[in-house]
Structures are given as structure tokens and as C-alpha cells.
Amino acid sequence: MYAAIPFPPISPELVSITIGGFELALRWYALAYIAGILIGWFLAVQAVKRDRLWPGNVAPMAPGRVEDLMTWAVLGVIIGGRLGFVLFYQPGHYLANPWEIPMIWQGGMAFHGGLIGVTTAFLLWCRATGAPMLQTADMMALATPPGLMLGRIANFVNAELWGRPTDVPWGVIFPGSRAQDCGQPAGELCARHPSQLYEAALEGLILGLVLIALAFFTRALKRPGLVTGVFAAGYGVSRFLVEFVRQPDAQFQSPGNPLGLALHVGGWGLTMGQLLSLPLIVLGAVLILRARRHDPSPDARPA
């Protein structure tokens, strides 16, 4: 038996009350979304309040318009995240049980689907208001990592989306993780990588601090698309790396494909998370290279 950390006794529900036979609960997952939105809104407002950070010393919008954009973005995240999970990860289940698609309180949100949803909402909002797209995208990229970090922590609290079996000293014994899944005899404990916390650190905390430093302490926002490119590439690389220790979705696993690879040839391949992250890495690199050609001088006009 190897050393491991027992899963802490944390309830997924922060508060639960019953009124008239109906149970109302505030879950950590919902609280993470709310807190992430509020922190993101604060960062976005602080950025647009500082005209000197932007091309031509003109912010892409007034601080009061951030709230309107965030409303569109939240709807895009929720709708896109849910539909992304349904289409990318469990299409067969939801095709057979379509009434479960709106049940987001049961879990099941995909970041890549949420990204598509928020991008669609963002493009529609920019088109309707005439806001400069790349600069608005930079503001939104700056605001996103806090929500990612808190969401991954909520995944850990919910004991979901855990990692592959491991014998590292910081492996966590999640409830419901069976001994046979780790190749252990019956009765033994199965420790797994706390991959949710790896993602919280990489795509949330570290990436968020990098973007804050670029936005507020360098002239990165004067190069439209640079902050967005760093976010896209940073998230893509972070997710790609964590996928090596993250437990793949059950629908991709089989006796001939124990690693749960969505694309594999001769035992080598990529998980679904890695496949979906590759376009982000490419997009991020393209935006970074494009932005580096933009004149960052204070009197450069917005693109």
C-alpha cells in the first residue's frame, strides 16, 4: 500500500434548506461561477477605466457597458458549455434522453463548448454595438482565468473529473474510485491525480497572473489580440499537458483503448481534451504573431 491523501469531508452543497417539501441548495459549483463572474467583471472594469493601457489611449468601451457584455457572455458560457458537453462527450446518452440536456445542475459542462458559446455571444454583441473586436476580446480574456480556477476547484469539491490512478504521495483517494480501476486488490484504496487542482493552478492562477501582468504592467493591450493570443495558447498548452494525467471519459475507454484516446493508432494518440486544445494553441500563436506586428506606440489608433 502506498501513501495517499484521503478526500476531505467536503459537501458539494454549501447551504441546503427545505421549503414546502422542496429542497433548495447553494452548491460550491454555482458559487464558483458567481464568484468567477464577479472577479472577471472587476478586472474588465479596471482595465477599461485606464485609457492609457489601450491603443490611442482610448478604451474599447465605457466601464458601464462591461456589465451588458458580461450578461451576454454568461449566457454564451452556459448554453455553449452545456451543448459542448452533450455533443463532444456524451451525444449517445443525451440523444436517448434529450430532456436531460437543460439539467445543468446535475453537472456536465465543457470548456471548449463554453468558449464557442461565449465567442458567438461576443461577436454578436460587438456587431450590435460597434465595439472593436480584438480589444474587446483582450478584455474578456483577462477576465476569464478567475472563473476557470474557481470552477476547477469546484470540480475537486464535487469529486468529479479526477485524474488517472497514481502512486505519487499527493494522490487523492476520491469517493467512488474503485480499487480494481487502479489495478489494486479488492479492499485496497485507489489514489488518483488531483488533476482538477493542476488545472486550477495552470489555466486559472498562473495564466491569470500572467495576463494581469501583461495587461496592467506592460503595453500588451496596445497590441490588439496579444492578450487573447496568450490566453488561448496558455489554456491550450495547460489543458493539453494535464490531459496526460486526467482520467479520460468513460465513453472513450475500451479493452483495446485503455488510455481513453479519442484518436489513436497503434496505442498512440490524443484524448478528446487534447484534440480540442490543438486549435486553441494554433489560434493563440497566430494572434500573438499578428499582434507583435502592431505598432504599440501611445498614439497608435485602435485596430
Q: 223 pLDDT exceeds 80?
A: yes
Q: What is the pLDDT of residues 159-191, one digit of tens each?
A: 888 999 898 999 999 987 766 566 666 666 788
Across the chain, mean pLDDT equals: 84
Q: Where residue 24 falls among pLDDT bands split at 50, 70, 90? A: low
Question: Strands (DSSP E) along 36-188, which ranges?
Answer: 172-173
pLDDT of residue 183: 63
Q: What is the pLDDT of residues 257-274, one digit of tens each?
A: 656 666 666 666 788 888
Q: Is 223 annotated as a binding residue?
A: no
pLDDT of residue 303: 39
**Pairing assessment for the beta strands 172-173 and 22-27 based on DSSP bridges:** unpaired
242 vs 183, residue with greater confidence: 242
Residues 6 or more apart whose Cβ sits within 8 Å of residue 138: 215, 220, 221, 224, 225, 226, 227, 228
Distance, CA of 189 to CA of 173 (rounded, Å) = 7
